[in-house]
Structure formats: C-alpha cells, structure tokens
Chains A and B, each alone.
Chain A
Amino acid sequence: MTLSTPSNASRPAAQVAGRGRPPRSAWLERQARWVFPAPAAITLLVLVVFPILYTVWMSFHSWTGQIQTPPQAIGLANYTQALLHDTRMWHAIWRMLIFGGLGIAFQTILGVGMALLFHREFPGKSVVRTIAILPMVTTPVVIALTWTLILNPTQGAIPYIFFKLGLPQVLWLADPKIVLLTLILVDTWEWTPLIMWITLAGLSALPNEPLEAARIDGASSWQIFWQIILPLLRPAIMVAVLLRGIDAIKTFDIIYAMTQGGPGNASETMNIYVFQQAFNYQQIGYASALLVIFFIIVLLLALVLIRLRRAPSWQP
C-alpha cells in the first residue's frame, strides 16, 4: 500500500506535462525498477538469506540451545562427525532419495495416465476433474490422520479388506520394512493430481498438425502416443517431475504426523532427522551442519531443474 502514495501524488503533476515533471517524481520514476521489487527483496533478505547465513555460522559451533551458554566455535567438527561417523544421517539421506525417487516414479506414471484419460470429452468431465484435485489441497495433517485411521490394524478398512481377500496381513505403519513404502503411497495419493494437471495443461497446448498427419498416415493410437504425444509432452512432464521431486524430498507433514520417523528410525528422512536433532535433542550446532549438507543436496537438484527449465528455449 505504501506504493500508492507516490503515484497518487505525482499523477496531477504528470498530467500537466509529460515534458517537465517535478524532480522528486522523476527520480522515483527512474528508480521504479528498484522500488517495485524492494519490499520483496528486503523481506526475503531478512527471512531467508539472513537465516541461511546464520545457519552456516552456527554449523561451525557447538550449541545445545541453552540461551545462557553461548555457542562455542569448534571448526569443522560437526561436518566431520556428520559425514564420517553419522550413519543415521546417511540412512536418512538414503530414505529421502528413495522417498523422492519412488514417489515420483509412481506419481508420474499414474498422473500421466490419468491426464490421458481425463483429457478426452466425457459426461461429467468437470466434476471428475474437480474430485481429482482434492487430494493436493487437503491439509496434510488431515491426510495423515485419515490414513492412520484407514490403516489401523484392528479397526481400519484396508487391513480388513486385505483379510477378507485372503491377502497377507501388513503392518502398514508398524513394520520397519514397510513403513517408508506406506508413506510413499500416501504421498502418491496426495500429489499424483499435480502431475495430472500439469500434463493436462501440456496436452491442451499440443499442436494438432502432427497428430492429424500421423492419423492420416494410418498410425495406431498406441504409436501416436509413444512416438508423438509423449515426446511433445516431455518438457512439461520433466519440469513437473523435477518440481515435484524437490518438494517430495522435503516432505515433512505427513511423515511427522503419521510416524515421526518411526518405528525406530525406519521412516526418518533427512528433514525429520534434522528436526529431531534441533528440536528434540537441542543440538542446534550439529543440526545446522546437517541443514547445510541438506540444502546443498537440494540446491544441486534445483540446478538440474533450472537447466532443464531453460532447455526448451535453446532448441530452434
């Protein structure tokens, strides 16, 4: 709202003459390209850049979160401890990559499939599409809570259906070998619609000519899909996959609300592990070092994303 003041003030003056504006408004006018983004830039500087620098600084210190005892500088000790001795961290990184990789694989296959299905005209199209959007806007804690009830071993719906169908009983959230897969499936339930919607947008932007030409040449719909539609959709799908991938490895809500990393550490991803170190064990310095390692990994993935985002424009 602060921006409305200069513009209102300068308007009458500016109307009098495009030739001779008052100096103050002329200065503001020349600086507009800095004035417009300034509030956002300052906000991000204070809320993002400064905390990151502070985290990096903390990562070279030992601090247990007691306000009374100041942090002690310990050099690279946190990093050597984490990278060389902390198997729990490596397991957490590994789980994070599995969670992201497997989740994306499921979501892409299902999401692209749903998009191809929902792209055609059919009665009730908008209702069906709206239902399909609901999982990704539903509060993650509610998703976690509802799946916990559905998967409950004694009164849950799914264990009972498995029992009735004669399938083996699975302890979805209590079996350390299964729990990560369960969480991946919940994540897939939540986010497949995003891939679907992005693919749908890509589909509706497809040029018609190659499809027509292929049809005239007598290509089967299977060939059209694999050899024309999919290659044309690839850029849209790639970007969707990478955006989703970066969000997936940062998943916190459903994991923390459903298992808090358990049983044991069986579903502890990097995000959860850092959170535990910082807020349950109060190892602020050590957690900061873990964070730096974490966001280096995420930024590396982001660089790949940015390169791929640019890629289409390099092509003639």
Chain B
Amino acid sequence: MATMTRRRVLRRSLLTLAFAIMLLPTLAFFYWLVLISLRSDLINSMYPPEFLPHGLTLDNYRTVIAQNSLIKDGFNSLVIAVGATVFGLLIGAPAAFSIARWRQQRFALGILVARIIPAVSYLIPWFVLFSRAHLIDTYTALILTNLVVCLPLITWILISFFEDLPPELIESARLDGCTVYGAFLRIALPLARPGMIAASIISLIFAWNNFLFPVVLSGSRTSTLPLAAFKLLNFASFSWGQLAATAVLITLPIVIISLVVQRYLVSGLTVGSIK
C-alpha cells in the first residue's frame, strides 16, 4: 500500500517536473521580455543581470508611444492585415466552396503550391513591377502581396469546413428554388462561420507578423510594426527598455486574440494537416 502511494507521488512529481520543463522556455521568454520593458536602462544594463522585478516603471511605454511613428506603424499594420484578410475571405470563401462541392482537387493543389513556394520567389518580380507601377510604399502593394500568404491559408482552412457540411443541405435549398449562389450565401456561409472565424484570425495574425514583404516593398509611409522593431534592433543605438516595450506592444494584440479564441486558432492551424 505504502509503495503504491509512493509510486503515485513519484509519478505525480515527475509529471509536474515534465510540465515545468516543457513550459519553462515559453514562460521565461515572455517573463524576460516584459521585465525588460518595465525597467529603466540603468537596471537593464546592470551586471550581474537582475532576474527579479524591482523598480518597475511604465516610462519605456510612454516614450515609445509618444514617438508618433509607432502609432502610425501600428495603424499601417492594422490596415494591411485587415485589408488582406477581407480580400482573402471574399475571394477564398467561394473558391473553397467550389473545391469542396465540385471536388476540384487540381485547383486545391494549385493553391497548395502557392503556399509552398518560398515567398522570396515572388519578391523580385513584384519589386520590379511595383517599381514600374509606382506602387512601392503603398497599401495596395502590401495588401496584394500579403494576399498571397493569406488567400491559400484561408482557402485551405475553409475547404475542410465546407467539406464537412452535409451536401443534402445545399441540394434541398436548390430544390426550394435557390440558385447555387443563393445556397452559398444563405446556407453554406452561415454554417461555415466557425471556419470563417478561424481563417480570419489566422490570416490576421500572419499578415500582422509578416516581415519579408515590408522589408522590400514598404518605405517611410507604409512601414509596419515588425519593420519598425527590426530597424530599432539593427540600426539605432537602441535602448533595451524601449525595444522590449515596442516588442510587447506588437505582440499584445496577438496574445489577447489567441487567449480569447484559442479553440478557433487551433482548429485553423492544424486543419489541412489531419485530413
């Protein structure tokens, strides 16, 4: 009896230890980032480094928010992410419906290929073409290019949601005199709402996080948050506290969204891999 409980206790503690080890890198990462963002550079540059929270202040946040470029960059990031997602849904949802309903496997494969090809491959022609069309440093260029990432993601996620709808629903709507278009808008789309939510969230996150496209295609007018953080890190004689505060501000919206809609996020990120 005693050995039984001892074994159980041992098992319990081993499990707890395993959890701790698995989660430690993630927790430590965010702890350190937030800690640096809340301290003055005086404390941040001390040696040995201080691991516990002392002398916390919001000064870094006040400073970086006061530089109005951060607000502008945030606005740019938002416009581009929302723009690419809205267009992605408008174009991707009918395509996904069509692939699911008429089993257009080749088209599905074509979309998969668009997702597989390295994004760097598009950059040279885009750069040349957008330069010629005087579209460098415009929302148009950045929304269009982000669409290349967002559209395949959205379509791929929605295909499996539309495939899960019973085909009888569409057929009965059509017998009632609905056109395919009506059946899509009135029946398929509302029923695929969880899929639409999952697809939008993931598309928003990917576009928000995108760094490669703005590096080449944006300038001072349409600079985005990741680009701003990169420039702070590499070109300015930066303050650690302000750098970390910027990083926290970039990440915060995503973390909040992820916490609120975890279920959708997971279903969207793992779809396509299971089927």
* Interface residues in chain A, defined as those with a beta carbon under 8 Å from any beta carbon in chain B: 1, 3-4, 6-7, 10-11, 14-18, 25, 28-29, 32-33, 35-37, 39-41, 43-44, 47-48, 50-52, 54-55, 58, 67, 110, 113-114, 117, 122, 126, 128-142, 144-150, 154-157, 160, 189, 194, 197-198, 201-202, 205, 236, 239-240, 243, 246, 250, 252-253, 256-257, 260, 271, 274-275, 278-279, 284, 287-288, 291, 294-295, 298-299, 302, 305-306
Query: Is B95's CB within 8 Å of the partner chain A?
Result: yes
| A13 shortest CB reach to chain B, Å | 9
If A37-B98, A44-B110, A189-B29 touch, whether A236 touches B23 (CB-CB below 8 Å) is: no
Interface of B toward A, CB cutoff 8 Å? 15, 18-19, 22-23, 25-30, 32-33, 36, 44-49, 51, 90-92, 94-95, 97-99, 101-102, 104, 107, 109-114, 116-129, 131-132, 144-145, 147-148, 151, 155, 175, 177-182, 184-185, 205, 208-209, 211-212, 215-216, 225-227, 229-230, 232-234, 240, 243-244, 247, 250-251, 254-255, 258-259, 262, 265-266, 269-270, 272-274
**Is the beta-carbon distance between A133 and B230 smaller than 8 angstroms?**
no
User: Given contacts A54-B125, A132-B26, are A47 and B147 in contact (CB under 8 A)?
Assistant: yes
Complex-state Cα separation, A54 to B128, whole angstroms: 10
Question: Whole-angstrom distance between the alpha carbons of A139 and B250 in the complex?
Answer: 7
When distances are taken between beta carbons in the complex, the residues of chain A under 8 Å from B125 are: 50-52, 54-55, 58
The 6 A-B pairs of least Cβ separation, nearest first, read A7-B181, A36-B98, A40-B95, A51-B125, A141-B226, A54-B125
A-B contact pairs, 7 of them (CB 8 A): A3-B184, A139-B229, A141-B211, A149-B36, A252-B120, A299-B117, A306-B109
| Contacting residues, chain B, for A137 (C-beta < 8 A) | 205, 209, 254-255, 258, 265
Name which residue of chain B comes closest to A110, CB basis. Answer: B22
CA distance A137 to B206 in the complex (A): 8
Contacts beyond the supplied A149-B244, A253-B212, A278-B123: 9 A-B pairs with Cβ under 8 Å? A16-B177, A36-B97, A47-B122, A52-B121, A130-B258, A141-B211, A141-B250, A194-B269, A253-B211
Minimum distance in angstroms from B153 CB to a CB of chain A: 12
Q: Contact between B269 and A157 (Cβ–Cβ < 8 Å)?
A: no
Contacts of A17 in B (CB 8 A): 177
With a CB–CB cut-off of 8 A, which chain A residues contact B91?
A: 39-40, 43
